[in-house]
Amino acid sequence: MNKLEQEILDSLIERKGEEIYQNLQKPEYQRVVREAMIGMAEFIAGDIIGKAMNHEEREEFLYNFTKKIDHDFSDGRELRLISKENAKEYYALLQLEEEEDLSVKEFIGYHKLIIKGLAGIARLEGLEKALTEEAEYEIIRIIYPTMDEFLDYSFR
C-alpha cells in the first residue's frame, strides 16, 4: 500500500470509528450490543473458561464483565477509544497477505478496490474530495453498478 492509499485507509478508519461512536451513543444500539456482549461472555464463562470456575466465580466474572460494559458505555472517552479500536479491527484484515477463506478474500478485495479508487480520485481531484462519503459511494457504484449486484455481494 502506497503513502496515499495508507492516508486514505487512516481516514476511513477515523470515519468508521466516528460512525461506531455515534451508533454506540444511541440507547437502542447500546442495548443490542450490550446484550450480545453479555451473551458472548456467558458463553465463554459457561463453555470455555467456565469448566475451570465454580458457580460463584462464574457469577462474579459475569458481574464484573457487565459492570465494565456499563462503565464503558457511560464514559464518552472510553467509548470513543473502543469505537476507534473496533474501526481498526474492521480494516485490519486488509493487512493480511494470504487468506484462504473466500468471504474474507472478497472483503479484502472489495476494500482494497475502494481504497485504490479513492486514491485515483485523490490524484485527479484532490485528497479532500477523495475522503468524502460521496467519493466512496462513487467507487462502490463503479464496482457494483446495480443494486442487485451490490446486494448479491452484501448478503453472501
pTM equals 0.73
Is there a single domain that holds both residue 106 and residue 148?
A: yes
pLDDT at residue 152 greater than cutoff 80:
yes
Answer yes or no: are the C-beta atoms of 117 and 109 closer than 8 Å: no
pLDDT at residue 10 greater than cutoff 90:
yes
- Enter the C-alpha cell of residue 29: 444500539
Is there a single domain that holds both residue 83 and residue 124?
A: no
Domain boundary among 46, 79, 94: 94
Is there a single domain that holds both residue 14 and residue 69?
A: yes
Domain boundary among 94, 115, 132: 94
Is there a single domain that holds both residue 117 and residue 140?
A: yes
- Please give the Cα distance from 113 to 111 (Å, whole number): 5
CA angle centred on 19, ends 18 and 21, rounded to 5°: 60
pLDDT at site 50: 60
